[in-house]
Amino acid sequence: MKEQVVTWRRDFHQHPETGYEEFRTSKIVAEHLEGLGLEVKTNVGKTGVVGILRGENPGPTIGLRADMDALPIQDQKTVPYCSQVPGKGHLCGHDAHTSMLMGAAQLLVSLGKPKRGNIKFVFQPAEEGLAGAKAMMDDGVLENPMVDAMAGLHVFPALPTGSIAVTKGVAFASADSIRIKIIGKGGHAARPHEAVDAITVSSQVISALQHVASRLVDPLEPVVVTIGKIQGGYMGTAIAPEVEMVGTVRTLSPSLRKNMPEFIENIIRGVTQAFGAEYEFKYNVGYPVVVNHEGMVDFLTKTSEQVFGDKRWDYVKPSTGGEDFAFYSEAVPGVFFRLGVSNAQEYTSYPLHHPKFDLDEDALPYGVAMLSAVALSFLSDSPQFNI
């Protein structure tokens, strides 16, 4: 099993596909599920794939989710399975997620039909900012049969291979995006008094936005406002008439999230007025917070001890990372956990989204085992949760 899962992972790693373009990946997934004799639905949420393993008798249904999309980042590793697609790379581990769920499907089918209930294998497109989970839900992924609970994992290079980590309650932050245009007045760089320097104003805006976290929000309330892209100007001897900035806003509190557009725009308005500039501001609401159901977390940790034979899990603080698994966990009880993939060697030490991100492939069987065990235990124990 491990050799096959590694082979899939390396193949996907060499052929990364970004959101809603996972045509090759979804074809491989669908053919594998069909070969196992599962019911298969394709084009769910555009490029998503769903496999259904039905039990012998009626019972609960659990969904197991893996995301399939890559990032628009150049892979800088020098390994045989490095990305062959310029400007794209599996640098967040979704190739591993897909491969592990394919392995779990194969393992569960080999064990025969469950005595009761159903397992849905949800291969999701477009997690990276394009809300593939919501697209699949809009296409009925949680229906026919109705899903009673969802489980998913994410590889995590800060954890050692053979371990998992999970958070009760709010586990991952909401993830919104902002776009700001500073409108000044162009001119010659030698005569700045005749212009309104959009670059200078934008730098003041960026600095002032740090005031949100340090002064406008309770210090015990995590919040992140980051400008990750800035573009403006033509040449060194001309004052830029416009600057565009793109950023992200993360919070762990839904109530605080509602206040963020006003906090940010008030700062932009005040700074631009002070410097004689104008602005345009767009706040795009993205993913909600991921909430891990307490009962599902307890169920997961108990199952992990059965799989590993001892306690290899730990509770961790919430992450300010965003995840569209949030849409599933809003609809049904869900648990989203972190799988350790570091073997202490340098190549497994790079963080997610780093151009050299890689993982310890010895961790893949642990992911297969956990996904499989969670599904079987859920159908066997059929815990009753309220959301």
8 A C-beta contact, residue 291 and residue 330: yes
Bin 362: left if φ > 0, else alpha if -120 < ψ < 50, else beta: alpha
Binding residues for Mn(2+): 92, 94, 128, 154, 353
Please tell me the distance from the alpha carbon of residue 370 to that of residue 383, in angstroms, as a whole number: 17
310 among known catalytic residues: no
Report residue 197 as tokens. Answer: 């320097």
323 assigned to active site? no
Mutual orientation of helices 2-14 and 23-35 as an angle, nearest 10°?
160
Q: Which residues are annotated as a binding site?
A: 92, 94, 128, 154, 353
Residue 137's Cβ-side half-sphere holds a number of Cα atoms within 13 Å equal to 17
Q: Catalytic: which of 75, 95, 127, 323?
A: 127
Question: What token pair was written down for 153?
Answer: 């994992």
Spot the catalytic one: 69, 176, 360, 361. Answer: 69
CA distance 20 to 91: 17
Residue ranges in the chain assigned as alpha helix (H): 2-14, 23-35, 94-110, 132-138, 198-211, 254-274, 294-308, 325-331, 364-381
DSSP state string for 295-320: HHHHHHHHHHHHHHSS--EEE---BS
Residue appearing with tokens 């669908």: 30
3-state secondary structure of 178: strand
Catalytic machinery residues: 69, 127
